[in-house]
Amino acid sequence: MFDKTTKKLTHYLCQKDENNFANLFANDGVYHDYIYGTFIGKHNIKIMMNNFFYRDAKNFYWEMYDHVYNDNIGYAKYRFSFVSIIPDYYGKKVVLSGISFFRFEYDKIIEYSESVNGGIAMVQLGVKPEKMEKVFLKWFKQTLDKDDKLNHLNNST
């Protein structure tokens, strides 16, 4: 079930099939994107695809492999690429690898998130170091805000 779902998910994204993509999620399913943030519910997941992913990029390639699934939780490695259509980075290709996390309920995705080094994408795009630093500090703050234990470790001496 899990590998079939990831094949559908990646295929639907690459084909810009927002309806089938969103229908893989529960009605209140959550997609945590490391760039654009959190989108809750099928309607907002469609918005994410159309108003963010396809606003900023084209020629998507996404493949998941080395699946691990246990007790409604799944992990898979992935390869991902796209071509930027953002004016400052127009035509630049980005190639990434990462790990996806899934939580399921009744064969529907209730939560998706990923672990990826976004700095690698920024370097490929040619983002200026000053801007990268601001983004990395923002990501760091978001990580601390979401995990009380990390926040505690950051504040301890």
pLDDT of residue 27: 96
60-66 average pLDDT score: 97
The full set of domains in the chain, from first to last, is 2-125 (3.10.450.50), 127-157 (no CATH)
Give the model confidence (pLDDT) of 6-46 as tens digits. Answer: 999 999 999 999 999 999 999 999 999 988 889 999 999 99
What predicted TM-score, i.e. pTM, was given to this entire model?
0.88
Estimate the share of the chain in helix, then strand, then coil, as percent rounded to the nearest 5: 45, 40, 15
Q: Is residue 83 within 8 Å of 91, Cβ to Cβ?
A: yes
Q: Which pair of structure tokens corresponds to residue 2?
A: 């899990």
Helix, coil or strand: residue 97: strand
pLDDT exceeds cutoff 70 at 62: yes
pLDDT of residue 156: 56
Give the model confidence (pLDDT) of 121-132 as tens digits. Answer: 999 999 999 998
